[in-house]
Chain A
């Protein structure tokens, strides 16, 4: 957020609404209404003095009304812009009889005469990032939310966990302010159409009724000790348990069209509460996070999660789930629970649930957390109307799988949660991707409106003694009401090297900035200490101020006397003043050791190398080329297309072959894309902006010089060794079954019974991850089979059905079409053997325990299809070595940050997309491919890349070439170089990120970190004690 607010080419218009959008792509006119804040944004410094004095309470919406707020307030402590606003509860606005805030604001920022302003913007493209709204369980009485004080939503709980939350990070019950010891989470609240059956045993989840072949007699022939009697009543019990689901299905068939119809009937447009059919895709993981955090807060807490399928389909999610489930006192119970009642005295909440082993039971909890799902933004119908875009049946933006960021109106793109329920990494893919797609439209006028700051030439102060200026900020009353500012100024004047010290009302205000600039010139200051707030927000501003004054920006030092002093010692004024002096003394000591550092510009080659010619690589290459930059696309096989060549349709019905063919044509037609087939990469050298890669292709070797590298090498399919695969021709993988279906293969057309086994080769010890795509893959094939022959018996043996997000609707459709779902236990996997069925034809016999009926079933299948795992490409290690990037524990490429930077590597200038990152669906691959193009463009669009000045440097004389520094560097920024004095370590300042870890490993102190040198830090520590 800070970066956005500081960016010279981003203008943030907060508290504004779009009222009208006219024009077409490349030439939109957008009308906005800027709501009155009653505070002048450019004058307010966010000091929050007004908040302190405001007499009118108003709900604190950020803390979900669990803590008191004021009518004038800053939305939250890290808000951008950090500016207060006055809400509709204000006494002055409602009754005209209070303007206390106006009196206490020393910067005169309050302005009650403000009115709503309208403005018009001319833009080329629009990106909608309206986010999501949490499901509100208050409307469904059964959840007890609002009625029972100790029932909270996961959003409430998120605030309770936060140290800036209502109880400073303590989890307290609303009823008695006590720590809950026994907590329950209820999953799928508002998602996957949870139906609560009051008073009756709740239905078991997800295994959906429907029968394959139940051969009780056959079962009894088995010698298995675990056999239970196949009492026909079990079948009835099973049927009745699904009554709720069934009835529901009949009332409202779960197909998209029917949901759409209902949505239209609602008039208001949104689905009625409790009726979101889709899976919200994020709740399983966030609940696990909340459980882990709760256990960290309180080790003794007992946490119970009532869940349907555990959908741990994201990267590293499976391990995360295991981590949560293995904590002591944590139970994961697969059951739809009902909130039965509140206990009058204790206000505890009684939950009723059923398990196959124990039947129905009741349990009391101190607190119940409802894991609420995600909905489209609250005003999505209005927004869609304003922007002239179409929505899907659920109210999310209508897009196509081939272009998941494009809305139905050309030039308007969507990113984030309004695309559908997605996790953070997919949001980032879409956001960068929407940026890239905008770039494709507007590339021809790139840079025309860009603004850059111009600075005067830098003064050389190398020979000068340190001349330090100290500016102590009052921050309105934030600092000065606690710290005696004049006394700290007096004190600062006595410190060594200080030639000027003064106080300022707000050092960050424009007039104060000007004053600093002038005093640098007037007093010949060559170091500046700002004693004010944390450097986090404003250091960039003060560094800029120094640059404007002609000083090197690294001569700026901030002493934090607000967050770390006045704010935490508001009742100890004298001690706080003493501490402020200590902090200033330390900063002055350090300032004397500061050195001018150069941020240097490196030229960027405008060419990109894309490794891998599948959907990911081609999409990415094409997007970059369409923005006007040349691309070399390197593919190892003789033709483009990759894995997608073997996929014919997606669950959503996309014609993959036509899409791929189209993509390949576009690649060949684009003059900026150069394709190498049958290629191998021989070597890679260089760094961001300046790579050199040697490629051997069709007998020729050539050297490609490029600025950015994109790795899109895809993944492989596991070749099962289980379940007779390769030994019996009736056993195939889902991919092979899909191909047979597309070819209308005889074996498919004549099959009477098809069984599918999920999770083959993953979610096990060898591969502790979920392949993400197989559940949807199975549903897609099952629906296709039912299309061919509605009477065909199709049975899916699964562990957790992971048809996350909007794909859930297809799962329901399959259940409705009598596809049978049987959950199996990984400790008791299905048994498969070749056999002859009742009709006398050869078949594959599958034996599996049915947890609902409590019996073992025997299924004779004409075809057995296996969900073979997606595994890392066999070339992964080789490519990782060439580009010096790292791998995750599962063998896929490791991104810079799993959530926040999922399309780039820690190594600058190298980007990642597609299955090489982790298994994913085609639409997700396309999103990430555009995302990688977007990230690469942020590099390519500049002529130079700026390297920070605060990097490490080796004093070669002292280097003993032990390599200790290299072992510490995660960025591969240090390498040996031959010198006259032998082999010496050398830091590549472009790759160095300035963490300084290497400095603590060097036994001779030869490597130093600029700006945080040992001398500077030691002097600062020394100055912590007066006279120290």
Chain B
């Protein structure tokens, strides 16, 4: 199994079950154990994962990747010790960043549900043409890619997070904007999109949004699918 096999679903599962940091270990770049150079995919995933962490209010430093060879046991120990120290300093996930537990849970679940969509985005927009560490760094640090993240992932992720909240109980626009620290007009815009897809329904009497019955139990697999208009 290649480090490139470690996808966002696995990474965010680890955060979901309560880990405060995730470290991916891969072969040295350009010294692929296969012919695939999949460690670059792992590097790309890490950049995407860190961007998403930042978007849900978590410290992106909680996700890291290190490249080393199978003969470098000492280096592995050093890297793991260093990372453990760093994560200890960062403190418990969410708590240290001031993200409430229920919101954190919702956000992480939303990210995991978004994995299929993120795969599409990665293929269409986030594939780095040159396989070098520097090219990856430049690509993911560029304003253009950040804008792309805003456009393509930002909205979908926010809807996902709102849906996570609605799974717990129906909420009004102002309640949602309060929990997620969004402007009511933004919430309204997202809810508009979500209603159009039939992911939420609006109850005129209570003035609250809730999930359609079938959705509240299922995994909300639809989010992300056929969602190219964002």
Contact = CB atoms under 8 A, between A and B. Distances in A.
Interface of A: 77-78, 162-164, 168-169, 536, 563, 568, 896, 906, 964, 967-971, 993-997, 999-1005, 1009, 1012, 1014, 1017-1018, 1021-1022, 1024-1025, 1028
A410 to B, nearest CB: 39
Main secondary structure of the interface of B (DSSP, over half): helix
B38 A995 contact: yes
A1021 B2 contact: no
B34 A1009 contact: no
B1 A1014 contact: no
Contacts of A906: 35
Contact of A1018 (B13, B77, B120): B13
15 contacts: A169-B72, A563-B73, A970-B36, A994-B1, A997-B38, A997-B41, A1000-B45, A1001-B123, A1002-B119, A1014-B9, A1014-B10, A1018-B10, A1021-B13, A1021-B14, A1024-B14
Main secondary structure of the interface of A (DSSP, over half): loop
A1003 B226 CA distance: 11
Contact of A163 (B13, B14, B73): B73
B129 interface: no
Contact of B74 (A163, A967, A999, A1001): A163
B228 interface: no
A1009 B71 contact: no
A1025 B92 CA distance: 14
Contacts of A995: 1-2, 4-5, 34, 36, 38
B5 A999 contact: yes
Contacts of A997: 2, 4-5, 36, 38, 41
Interface string B1-26: 11011110110011001110000000
B98 interface: no
Contact of A1025 (B6, B7, B19): B19
Contact of B10 (A568, A1004, A1017, A1028): A1017
Most B C-beta atoms less than 10 A away, residue of A997, A1001, A1005, A1025: A997
Given A162-B71, A970-B34, A995-B2, 13 more contacts: A78-B71, A164-B71, A169-B72, A967-B123, A970-B37, A997-B5, A1000-B7, A1000-B41, A1001-B123, A1018-B10, A1018-B13, A1021-B10, A1024-B17
A270 B66 CA distance: 46
A880 B4 CA distance: 26
A1003 B114 CA distance: 10
A457 to B, nearest CB: 29
B169 interface: no
A967 B122 CA distance: 12
Contacts of B45: 1000
Most B C-beta atoms less than 10 A away, residue of A967, A971, A994, A1003: A1003
B117 A1003 contact: yes
Contacts of B73: 77, 163-164, 563
A1003 B116 CA distance: 4
Contacts of B1: 994-996, 1009, 1012
A568 B122 CA distance: 37
A125 B74 CA distance: 42
A1003 B35 contact: no
Interface string B97-140: 00000000000000000001101101100000000000000000
B70 A169 contact: no
A1003 B4 contact: no
Interface of B: 1-2, 4-7, 9-10, 13-14, 17-19, 34-38, 41, 45, 70-75, 77-78, 116-117, 119-120, 122-123
Closest 6 CB pairs of A and B: A996-B5, A906-B35, A1028-B17, A995-B2, A1000-B7, A970-B36
A1022 B17 contact: yes
Most A C-beta atoms less than 10 A away, residue of B5, B6, B37, B116: B5
Contacts of A1022: 13, 17
Contacts of B77: 568
Nearest to A536: B70
Contact of B35 (A164, A536, A971, A1005): A971
Contact of B119 (A168, A971, A1000): A1000
B41 A968 contact: yes
Given A169-B74, A997-B4, A964 B119 contact: yes
A78 B38 CA distance: 26
B35 A1009 contact: no
A44 to B, nearest CB: 21
A762 B42 CA distance: 36
A400 to B, nearest CB: 36
Contacts of B78: 168
A163 B117 CA distance: 41
B36 A1024 contact: no
A1003 B120 contact: yes
Contacts of B38: 968, 995, 997
A230 to B, nearest CB: 47
Contacts of A163: 71-75
A322 B187 CA distance: 54
Most B C-beta atoms less than 10 A away, residue of A970, A994, A999, A1021: A1021
B186 to A, nearest CB: 27
A995 B18 CA distance: 28
A826 B94 CA distance: 59
A1001 B6 CA distance: 11
Contact of B116 (A563, A994, A1005, A1018): A1005
Contacts of B41: 968, 997, 1000
A536 B2 CA distance: 15
A404 to B, nearest CB: 29
B119 A1003 contact: yes
Contacts of B5: 995-997, 999-1000, 1009, 1012
A970 B17 contact: no
Given A169-B75, A1004-B116, A1009-B1, A999 B7 contact: yes
Contacts of A568: 77
Given A169-B75, A1001-B123, A1014-B9, A1028 B70 contact: no
Nearest to A967: B123
Nearest to A1019: B13
Nearest to B118: A1003
A273 B128 CA distance: 52
A503 B20 CA distance: 33
A737 B105 CA distance: 77
A78 B73 CA distance: 11
Contact of A996 (B2, B9, B72, B116): B2
A168 B78 CA distance: 10
Given A163-B72, A970-B36, A1003-B120, A1024 B10 contact: no
A970 B13 CA distance: 28
